[in-house]
Amino acid sequence: MLIRSSWTLNVCEPTVLPRAYSLELVKYLHQCMGLEVGNETIPSVTYSGILGFYSILGNFITFRPNEFYQLSLCGLQEKSAKAISTLELSPSLEFLGAKFNIINREEEITSYEEIYTTLVANEPEPLRRYDLQFITPTAFTQSGTNLPLPVPTLMFRSWLERWNHFAPVYLGSDELIAYLSNAVMVKNHKIQTRTWQLQRGFVNGFVGDVTLQVFNRADPLLANVAHLLVQYARFAGTGIKTRLGMGQILIRKSKNEQ
- Span 238-250, pLDDT tens digits: 999 999 999 999 9
User: From its phi and psi, is residue 56 left (phi > 0), alpha (psi between -120 and 50) or beta?
Assistant: beta
Angle at 177 between CA 174 and CA 180, to 5 degrees: 150
For 113, the 3-state DSSP assignment is: helix
What tens-digit pLDDT sequence spans the chain (258 residues)? 999 999 999 999 999 999 999 999 999 999 999 999 988 999 999 999 999 999 999 999 999 999 999 999 999 999 999 999 999 988 999 999 999 999 999 999 999 999 999 999 999 999 999 999 999 999 999 888 999 999 999 999 999 999 999 999 999 999 999 999 999 999 999 999 999 998 888 999 999 999 999 999 999 999 999 999 999 999 999 999 999 999 999 998 765 544
Architecture of domain 127-257: 2-Layer Sandwich (3.30)
The reply to whether domains 2-110 and 127-257 share a CATH topology is: yes
Helices (H), ranges, the chain: 22-33, 78-85, 112-116, 152-166, 174-181, 220-236
**What pLDDT, in 10s, does the model give residues 60-101?**
999 999 999 999 999 999 999 999 999 998 899 999 999 999
Sign of CA dihedral 22, 23, 29, 33: positive
For the whole model, what pTM was predicted? 0.95
Helices (H) and strands (E) in the chain, counts: 6, 14
Given the candidates 1.10.10.10, 3.30.70.1890, 3.40.250.10, 3.40.50.1100, the CATH classification of the domain at 2-110 is 3.30.70.1890
Tell me the backbone φ, ψ of residue 136, rounded to 5 degrees. Answer: -130, 155
For 124, the 3-state DSSP assignment is: coil
Peptide bond into 220 cis (omega under 30): no
CA–CA separation, 159 and 228 (whole Å): 10
Listed in sequence order, the residues at least 6 apart from 12 whose beta carbon sits closer than 8 Å to its beta carbon are: 65, 99, 101
C-alpha distances in angstroms, 153 versus 134, 149, 189, 253?
Answer: 16, 11, 16, 22
Kindly provide the residue ranges of all beta strands, DSSP E only, lying in 83-220, ordered along the sequence: 92-95, 98-110, 129-138, 140-142, 145-147, 184-197, 202-214
Identify the CA nearest to 50 among candidates 36, 61, 65.
Answer: 61
User: What rounded mean pLDDT belongs to the chain?
Assistant: 95
**What pLDDT, in 10s, does the model give residues 10-25?**
999 999 999 999 999 9
Angle at 137 between CA 69 and CA 239, to 5 degrees: 120
Q: Would you kindly state where each structural domain of the chain is located, as residue ranges?
A: 2-110, 127-257
Residues 51-67 as b or e (16 or more Cβ within 10 Å = b): beebeeeeeebebeeee
